[in-house]
Every structure is written in C-alpha cells, then in structure tokens.
Amino acid sequence: MKNKKIVFFPAFKRVVPADFENWLEHMAAEGWHIERVRQWSSIIMIFKKGKSKKYRFVYDLQAVPGKDYIPTYEQFGWECLGRMASVYIWRMEYSGERPEAFTDNESIVGRDKRTIAAVSVSFSLFLLGALAATITAVFFSGSLSAGDRNQLIALAVFLIILAILLGTVMIYIYKKGKQQKE
Amino acid sequence: MNEEKAVKKYIPMTETMFFILLSLQQEHHGYGIMQYVRQLTNNRIILGAGTIYNSLSRLESDGLIKALSDDDRRKTYITTELGKKILQAEAKRIAELYKNVKSLLKEPR
C-alpha cells in the first residue's frame, strides 16, 4: 500500500481559499497529512499516510504580517504549517464544533480581497508583458528577424493566455465570495 | 486619521469592531480580547484569530488603538483618545436605535 501521495498544482486547482482549506481537511480525514508547507507547496504537495484526523485548516494571505501575527494565531491554538508565497497555512485538530479563524463576514471578505489583490499583481504583469511583446513585434518588425518576431508573438499569446486564466480566477474568487456572503 | 474621517469609516460599526474597541478600554492582548467578548456576550460571539489580528491591525493603523507592550509573544493594546471618541459616537447611535425600538421589546399584556 502506498504511503505517499503527490499532488501537483494543488493551489492552482483550488483557487478559492475556502475550497483549498476544505480539500486539506478532506485529505486529513482520509489519513493524508502534510507536515510542512513551503514556498513550492503551491506547485507540489507531498502527503504522508497516517491515521485519519479531524483538522481544520486556514488559508490566510498576509503579504507583510506584523510580528504579532504568528503569536496571535498560536495563542488561539493554531499550528503554523508554513507559508507558500504570501499564504500562511494553519491547522488545528478538533472534535465537536469546527473552529474558525475568520468569524465575521467582513474578515472573510477581506481575506478573499487580499487573495484577489495578490492575483491581480501577476495578472497586470502578464498583461504588461503581453503588451510589450506585441508592440515590439508589430512596430519594430523591420529590425527583427522572422524567427525573433515569431518568438515574440508566441510569447505574447502565452502571456495573454496566462492573463486570461488569472482574470478568470479573480472573477471566480469574487463570485464564490459573493455566494458565501449571500 | 482625523476624527471626521474615522467617523465616516467606522460608523455604523460592525459588531466585531464594536466589541474589540469596547474591550480595549482596558489593556488586552488578542486572546484576552476573545475571552472578554465571549464572556460579555454569553458565548454568542467567539472571535477568531484571523478576525482579531486583522481588526487590530486596521484599528492601530487608523489610530483608534495603540500598542502598549510589544514583546515578541504578546502585543497588548488600548484605545486612544480617537478610539474613545469613535466608541462614544457609536454608543450614541446604538442608544438612539434602542430608544426608537424600545416599544417593540415590551411584552404584550
């Protein structure tokens, strides 16, 4: 029987924070556990088989957390599994009522807004990159070889696809947040 | 932040913000705030770590509360003069609401 499970792009498959949390909780219930979250955990996550546990996970994006950020969570009994990019992943074992780190609508909406803002930075960069590649390919085509021009066009198309993807992600998080609010 | 801007931003206040600001009339750290609010509301409101951390950060950056001790493990806070004024303004608003709905709360004879 396998005692390791590798999941690729877990954070990209579940872009809404609540969906990511629920998925980790479901994995833990099936006995699949992560011990640490690292920078590359959004790309690859390795789970180890163990006993089924009832854990509540929290996804919290904090670009510049204050020095009391971690102690505040720890005082409430949360265990920090680490961070991937600016996202902290917290865990708490529970029985009975499911613990919550965000207990009012305003802070849940705030958490989703911070996630959308972070995605929008990459979205803008991809869009600017696509624009720059297109302008260069169109207006400076005389000074470029056919091969260079084709590469620039391919780059622009690739960046536009990524921008569209991220744009869709932002809309999805926004809509899901709105549904949760209702 | 000046008083006018703070009034616009915070009034009417969310229940969470109100209870956090109310609890910080005395010095408290994050977990202490949760315990205080829980007791005050008879377990109706149990604030979470994320909610408390974000609310405290926001209140501190807007000047409604200030940090007293700042050791690595426990940062404690208390309301500033601006925070007290905003809390009083919100209390007045709630009192006015109460005055207007008081008759609804009377038990029918």
d(C-alpha A150, C-alpha A44), whole Å: 32
**Which pLDDT score is estimated for A170?**
84
A68, A71, A102 ranked by CB distance to B48: nearest = A102
Does the distance separating the beta carbons of B72 and A103 come in below 8 Å? Answer: no
At residue A40, does pLDDT exceed 80?
yes
**Which pLDDT score is estimated for A123?**
86
| Mean of the per-residue pLDDT values of chain A | 89
Closest-CA residue to A86 (of A22, A39, A17): A39
Q: What is the DSSP string of B12-76?
A: SPPHHHHHHHHHTTS-EEHHHHHHHHHHHTTTS----HHHHHHHHHHHHHTTSEEEEEE-SS-EE
Does the distance separating the beta carbons of B50 and A60 come in below 8 Å? Answer: yes
**Contact status, residue A74 vs residue A42, Cβ threshold 8 Å:** no
| Strand-strand pairing, A44-49 and A4-8 | antiparallel
Average pLDDT over residues A73-79: 95
Q: Provide the 3-class DSSP secondary structure of residue A73.
A: helix
Q: What is the pLDDT of residues A91-132, one digit of tens each?
A: 999 999 999 999 988 888 888 888 888 888 888 888 899 888
**Contact status, residue B90 vs residue B12, Cβ threshold 8 Å:** yes
Does the distance separating the beta carbons of A75 and B29 come in below 8 Å? Answer: yes
| Strand-strand pairing, A4-8 and B75-79 | unpaired
**Which pLDDT score is estimated for A71?**
92
Does the distance separating the beta carbons of B72 and A76 come in below 8 Å? Answer: no
Q: What is the pLDDT of residues A79-90, one digit of tens each?
A: 999 999 889 999
At residue B91, does pLDDT exceed 70?
yes
The pair of three-digit structure tokens given for residue A19, joined into one six-digit string? 């969906």
Sheet holding A55-61, edge to edge: A55-61, A87-93, A79-84
B29, B47, B49 ranked by CB distance to A78: nearest = B49
d(C-alpha A136, C-alpha A176), whole Å: 38
**Contact status, residue A47 vs residue A85, Cβ threshold 8 Å:** no
d(C-alpha A80, C-alpha B33), whole Å: 21
At residue B106, does pLDDT exceed 80?
no
Query: Chain B contacts of A111, Cβ < 8 Å?
Result: 50
At residue B70, does pLDDT exceed 80?
no
At residue A181, does pLDDT exceed 90?
no
Whether the complex's predicted ipTM surpasses the cut of 0.90: no
Average pLDDT over residues B5-30: 94
At residue B43, does pLDDT exceed 70?
yes
The pair of three-digit structure tokens given for residue A79, joined into one six-digit string? 């265990």
At residue B109, does pLDDT exceed 70?
no
A68, A76, A102 ranked by CB distance to B75: nearest = A68
